[in-house]
Amino acid sequence: MALLSVKNLRVEIKTRAGVAPVIDDLSFDLEAGESLSFVGESGCGKSMTALALMGLLPEGVGSIAAGSITFDGEELTTASEARLREIRGNDISMIFQEPMTSLNPLFNIGEQIAEVLRAHQNLSRKAAWSQAIELLDAVRIPNAKARVNDYPFQMSGGQRQRVMIAIALACQPKILIADEPTTALDVTVQAQIFDLLQDMQRQTGSSIILITHDMGAVAEMAERMIVMYAGRKAELGPVEDVIAHPRHPYTAGLISCVPHILSTLTEEREELVEVPGIVPALQDFGKDTCLFASRCLQAQAQCLRARPPEIEFGPEHQSACWRAEEL
């Protein structure tokens, strides 16, 4: 049995134009110790999927309209808020995009890490503080014993992100969700953060869900990947297979936008190819057509009439495209 199983998930949010499905019929499994990545443009539903898994959809605006989220055999869509609070931070943790808005500016770093430990591990204040120092040292913040007293504004962007990782890993969760963990960080720091996440995964055995728009990060970090578009799963499969043999025009377009993604293949690309157009408006999500058709250079009449089914290429590779077998 998979550690996390999502079946036919539909998440709706209220807009001025009415209710829109930001996640539409999404299904996937996550195994223990596995690295799975969600990739796609901004607005495709990646972060909203993470919030649904955490039970953190915006109150009064977003809701789970259909489907199932099963964690370790327990259904989360019907769990009480008290039960979700027990799971969050303890069994499932999340690294948010911008640490400066996620960390409390009024409390020092040590207090914010210790708070998680006291809440979920029932540690004394002294024991939690000592553990906070060890966690800062584990995420490679120099002179952790002194820096534990620092406030978020006293740290660099990369250091704040390391603090977020320390908080997320404090209780050794079974699943770690990393939502754009290297946003606004320079390339060198990005590489350090990814190395740190991989080291932490090897040590704790946690599963990782990486949410990103960076295909290069996916190639480095993940074993399997899900390509999202307009709230739907466009393609799913092993990273190497999807990158080498994309079965959806959108996946192929994302790969073509990255100069180095195919550097290990024999075929060289003379120029980058952009994906034309933009993601459809939110009110158009959920239509029973191919939502990528207006941007697809290979679209045909059928794409504008009906929603494409998920076609399987082997046991693990799926694509929702009418022309998937031709690609």
Rg (CA), the chain: 20
pLDDT digits 0-9 by tens, 88-143? 999 999 998 777 788 999 999 999 999 999 999 989 999 999 999 999 999 999 99
pLDDT digits 0-9 by tens, 221-270? 999 999 999 999 999 999 999 999 999 999 999 988 877 655 554 455 56
Same domain assignment for residues 166 and 250? no
Average pLDDT over residues 63-77: 96
Average pLDDT, the chain: 91
Same domain assignment for residues 132 and 206? no
Average pLDDT over residues 36-57: 94
Q: Render the burial of 25-63: b for 16+ CB within 10 Å, e for the rest.
A: bbbbebeeebbbbbbbbebbbbbbbbbbbbbebeeeebe
pLDDT digits 0-9 by tens, 166-202? 999 999 999 999 999 887 778 888 888 899 899 989 9
Six-digit token string for 218: 């996916």
Task: Note the pLDDT of residue 187.
Answer: 83
Task: Note the pLDDT of residue 241.
Answer: 94
pLDDT digits 0-9 by tens, 296-314? 988 999 999 999 999 998 7
Choose one of 113, 147, 170: the last residue of a domain: 170
Task: Note the pLDDT of residue 16.
Answer: 87
Same domain assignment for residues 49 and 111? no
Same domain assignment for residues 188 and 162? no
Same domain assignment for residues 98 and 230? no
Same domain assignment for residues 120 and 256? no
Q: How far apart are CA 311 and CA 289, in angstroms?
A: 16
Task: Note the pLDDT of residue 262.
Answer: 53
Task: Note the pLDDT of residue 268.
Answer: 56
Q: Does the pLDDT value for residue 2 go beyond 80?
A: yes
Six-digit token string for 151: 């406030």
Domain that holds residue 117: 92-170
Same domain assignment for residues 272 and 194? yes
CATH number at residue 310: 3.40.50.300
Task: Note the pLDDT of residue 261.
Answer: 54
Q: What is the pTM of this model?
A: 0.91
Residue 148 neighbours by CB under 8 Å, 6+ apart: 108, 109, 110, 113, 129, 132, 133, 136
